[in-house]
Structure 1
Amino acid sequence: MSLCPPLTLKVYGDFACFTRPEFKVERISYDVITPSAARGILEAIFWKPEMGYRIEKIHVLTPIQHFSIWRNEVNNCQSESSAKSWAKTGVGGYFADGDRAQRHTLGLRNVAYLIEAQIYLKAHATENIAKYRDQFRRRVQRGQCHHQPYFGTREFSAFFEPPTGQEQAINRSDELGLMLYDLEFQPAPKGSIQYRQQDAQGRRIISGNARPRFFAARLEQGILTIPPQPL
């Protein structure tokens, strides 16, 4: 456990969708932001390769409200290499109009959260942790970010600001069931086709499969406490 007080950040927005994985192609949101989505917002504000974020608590500041819409989505993902090949050869192409499907989204409306998190240093870090904590606080104070944070999907923008200290969590306690904690990337076995020791620049990389980790989520007086170890 860190001896430093947690970093706090207030985030809010008009819409959000933190998709539950068990519903396949339909976008059905969790009732509360997931730890991985909260971490993504913090990384959008400030990130360095020698550090990471550990989410400790999430305070729900506004009543949980849902909305339902239908969205047009494409069925297949396109890659940069395919686009370069089409541009080079003049053969092929992609037309989104012929690859669309209409899917249902059950999202959240008028969301606001107070995120408590700790910064941890990785093995190759050489600077003191206080440096990264100060940099994060300065960027939040100035409204700076590497890219626009979002709530689950990029069209649902997230806005952030330093907390005032007057934020109050909602008066609600509820079992939220199993919630996605994060994706744990396991290296591919040496000798397998996915295994790579280093890239063209000599940098070591890890290839393998992503394993989802979950935890039993409970909202207690509007506060979701994140366990240090998921299931």
Structure 2
Amino acid sequence: MYNNSVELTVYGDYALFSDPITRVGGEKWSYQIPTYEALKGILSSVYWKPTFIWYIDAVRVMKPIQTEVKGIRPIKYHGGNDLSYYTYLKDVEYHIKAHFEWNHNRRELEQDRNVAKHEEIAKRMIKKGGRRDIFLGARECQAYVEPCCFDEGKGFYDDISELAFGPMFHGFTYADEAYDEKTAGRLTQNFWKPIMKNGVIEFCRPEDCEHRYLHETKVKVFENKKNFQPVSEFDV
């Protein structure tokens, strides 16, 4: 009955999935498609617990890719304002297919591994629009989520057999999401080369990407009766 997966649509007036290379000069330019990390952040805003990790299986681009340039006055680090140009995606909508898997780095939360519970909560939160505010890559790009069927509706690129987008940032692997010795205790940056086929981009898993290992970092440990209380102590 439960398969630990969800399908939802996210849409908004603007999106900014910024390419890190374009930030050097203080200006931002959006990738043409959402990054794995941005979509994972949307699912985390909908419903997140350290018991599990969200994995994005695929995204379907429903509307044409179009951009709009805006003049922005960002605040300088040492005070005052500057003038920059940000290139946003305009009028976007995506269908997302995702699933969660238990975070085996969190042995202290093994008693919380209940597929039915987390799937039902996640689907209920999608219907309500998410537990936290939803953004498409940047804080100023407000978005909205709703449940959907991944294959329903007509997408703009459904009839285009293949589009390649070149090397692209995939996402981060944090220390508490480590899957081998190299990613344990450090922040890892992942890269890949996405290809859209008939409007759908199927994401590879973080461990299948090209990696850049960054600085070391510690993992927060959740302790019983300190960070959480067992269900048995509550009146039900």
- Residue matched to 1:214: 191
Question: What is the alpha-carbon distance in structure 1 between the residues aligned to residue 103 and residue 196 of structure 2?
Answer: 31
Deviation at 1:20, TM superposition (A): 0.6
Distance in 1 (CA, whole Å) between partners of 2:185 and 2:3 is 33
Q: Does 1:176 align with 2:165?
A: yes
Which stretch shifts more, 130-139 or 157-166?
A: 157-166
Three-state SS of the structure 1 residue aligned to 2:167 is strand
What residue number does 1:100 align with? 81
Give the TM-score, by structure 2 length. Answer: 0.74
Residues 1:63 and 2:64 aligned together: yes
* 2:131 aligns with one of 143, 146, 149: 146
**Amino acid across the alignment from 1:26:** E
Greater relative contact order (Cα 8 A, min sep 6): structure 1 or 2? Answer: 1
Q: Which has more radius of gyration?
A: 1
Query: Structure 2: where are the runs of 5+ without partners?
Result: 177-183, 211-236
Matches within 5 A, 1:132-143: 132-143=118-129
Q: Which runs of 4+ in 1 moved over 3 A?
A: none
Is 1:230 the counterpart of 2:216? The answer is no
TM superposition shift of 1:216: 0.8
Letter of the structure 2 residue corresponding to residue 118 of structure 1: H
Q: Please state how far the C-alpha of 1:99 moved relative to its aligned partner.
A: 2.4
Taking the TM superposition and a 5 Å limit, the aligned residue runs for 1:176-195 are 176-185=165-174
Q: Decide whether the 8 Å contact of 1:140 with 1:161 is kept in 2.
A: yes
Q: Distance in 2 between matches of 1:112 and 1:156?
A: 13
CA distance in 2, matches of 1:220, 1:100: 43
Unpaired stretches in structure 1, ≥5 consecutive residues: 77-93, 188-205
The 3-state SS of whatever aligns with 1:11 is: strand
- 2:41 aligned partner, one-letter code: G
Q: Count residues with an aligned counterpart.
A: 189
1:43 and 2:44 equivalent? yes
In the alignment, is the contact (CA less than 8 A) between 1:169 and 1:223 conserved in 2? no
Alpha-carbon distance, 1:75 to partner: 2.4
Give the TM-score of the pair, scaled to structure 1: 0.75
Query: Does the C-alpha gap of structure 1 residues 159 and 66 become closer, same or farther in structure 2, counting only changes over 3 Å?
Result: same
Task: Report Cα offsets for 1:61-117 as digits up to 9, x if no partner.
Answer: 1010110111111222xxxxxxxxxxxxxxxxx8xxx42211111110000000111
In percent, how many aligned pairs have the same letter? 24
- Secondary structure of 1:47's counterpart equals coil
Per-residue CA distance 1:122-166 (angstroms, 9 max, x = gap): 1223222222111100111233x2321101111110101111563
**Residue pairs, 1:200-211, within 5 angstroms:** 208=186, 210-211=187-188
